[in-house]
């Protein structure tokens, strides 16, 4: 039976996966070790390498691990949305997204959870003091920097890392901003989510992280995704998406001002 009553202490970490058999069990173990309140939902897009089978087997022994298997490769944005729906329907008070390739180290979760006492959304950021990236070639560094500058400037966002997928959302944010109407995916989904959160008057804070290049498996990200996201950003500026009722003016009472 679905528990519709939310509990602020319950934390869900969403891990979208496609061919992450080499990483998924080790990562979920480390995520769950960060706090007893954390549960993990793996959203797998029918990985041919058996990722879902590994998670399903492990979940028989670990009640805090769940699997949502989808019929095919449906995109990162829809994986987030499937996880958000699960988290809201099952009463989680805080919902995180992170990569399943160890580029987002689980050791940052306790600090991000603590920061959620001050912010409505917390971002694990590469581009604030103390943050950074490891083992990236300079063209990728340059492209990522430009993509964030471009999105931050055009969308008038206060955060430095607009394309970061390591985020924690308070339940009331997801209930208010209605992410289920977003049609874009990948980086553009993340950028529009930041835009919607900001325009609806919620606070966003950044925690510095070191983004680590994956050590196993192959990257699923292509440079074309960044260029496509740039087009979505421009479209958002030219024709802003409709905000939920009550937020049309582009502002709302701030829930928790930064300490």
pLDDT band at 214 (very low <50, low <70, confident <90, very high): low
| Res. 256: pLDDT tops 60 | no
Question: Average of pLDDT values for 195-201?
Answer: 95
| Res. 58: pLDDT tops 90 | yes
φ, ψ at 13 (rounded to 5°)? -110, 120
b/e per residue 187-208 (b: at least 16 CB within 10 A): bbbbbbbbbbbbbbbbbbbbbb
Per-chain mean pLDDT for the chain: 89
> What local confidence, expressed as pLDDT, does residue 209 receive?
98
Write the CB contacts of 188 (distance below 8 Å, at least 6 apart in sequence).
77, 228, 229, 231, 232, 233
Distance CA 25, CA 144 (A): 29
Edge-to-edge strands of the sheet including 204-208? 65-69, 38-44, 7-17, 92-97, 167-170, 121-125, 204-208
| Dihedral sign (CA 55, 57, 58, 61) | positive
Burial of 219 (0-12, 13-18, 19+ CB in 10 A): exposed
> What local confidence, expressed as pLDDT, does residue 219 receive?
53
For a pLDDT cut of 90, what percent of the chain falls above it?
A: 70
| Res. 18: pLDDT tops 70 | yes
> What local confidence, expressed as pLDDT, does residue 255 receive?
43
pLDDT band at 94 (very low <50, low <70, confident <90, very high): very high
Each residue's pLDDT tens digit, 61-79? 999 999 999 999 988 999 9
Greater model confidence, 233 or 95? 95
Question: Average of pLDDT values for 151-170?
Answer: 95
Which is nearest to 211 in space by CA: 123, 139, 152?
A: 123
User: What domains does the chain contain, in order, with CATH numbers?
Assistant: 7-238 (3.90.550.10)
Question: Average of pLDDT values for 180-191?
Answer: 85
Tokens 């930064």 appear where?
Answer: 258
Distance CA 248, CA 74 (A): 30
Which is nearest to 150 in space by CA: 89, 210, 180, 191?
A: 191
| Res. 250: pLDDT tops 70 | no
pLDDT band at 245 (very low <50, low <70, confident <90, very high): confident
| Res. 3: pLDDT tops 60 | no
> What local confidence, expressed as pLDDT, does residue 193 receive?
95
| Res. 238: pLDDT tops 60 | yes
Distance CA 139, CA 112 (A): 29
> What local confidence, expressed as pLDDT, does residue 259 receive?
38
């Amino acid at each position: 039976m679905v528990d519709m009553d939310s509990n602020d202490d319950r934390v869900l970490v969403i891990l979208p996966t496609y061919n992450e058999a080499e990483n998924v069990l080790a990562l979920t173990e480390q995520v769950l070790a960060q706090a007893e309140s954390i549960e993990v939902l793996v959203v797998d897009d029918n990985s041919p390498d058996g990722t879902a089978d590994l998670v399903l087997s492990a979940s028989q022994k670990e009640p805090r691990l769940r699997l949502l298997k989808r019929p095919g490769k449906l995109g990162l944005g829809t994986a987030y949305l499937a996880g958000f729906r699960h988290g809201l329907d099952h009463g989680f008070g805080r919902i995180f997204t992170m990569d399943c390739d160890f580029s987002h180290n689980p050791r940052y979760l306790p600090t991000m959870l603590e920061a959620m006492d001050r912010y409505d959304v917390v971002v694990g950021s590469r581009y604030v003091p103390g943050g950074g990236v490891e083992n990236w070639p300079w063209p990728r560094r340059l492209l990522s920097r430009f993509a964030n500058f471009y999105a931050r400037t055009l969308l008038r966002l206060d955060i430095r890392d607009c394309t970061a997928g390591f985020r924690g959302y308070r339940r009331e944010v997801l209930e208010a901003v209605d992410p289920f109407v977003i049609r874009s995916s990948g980086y553009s989904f993340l950028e529009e989510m930041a835009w919607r959160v900001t325009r609806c008057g919620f606070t966003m804070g950044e925690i510095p992280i070191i983004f680590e290049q994956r050590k196993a498996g192959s990257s699923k990200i292509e440079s074309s995704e960044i260029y496509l996201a740039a087009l979505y950003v421009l479209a958002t500026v030219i024709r802003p998406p409709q905000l939920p009722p009550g937020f049309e003016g582009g502002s709302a009472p701030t829930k928790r001002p930064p300490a």
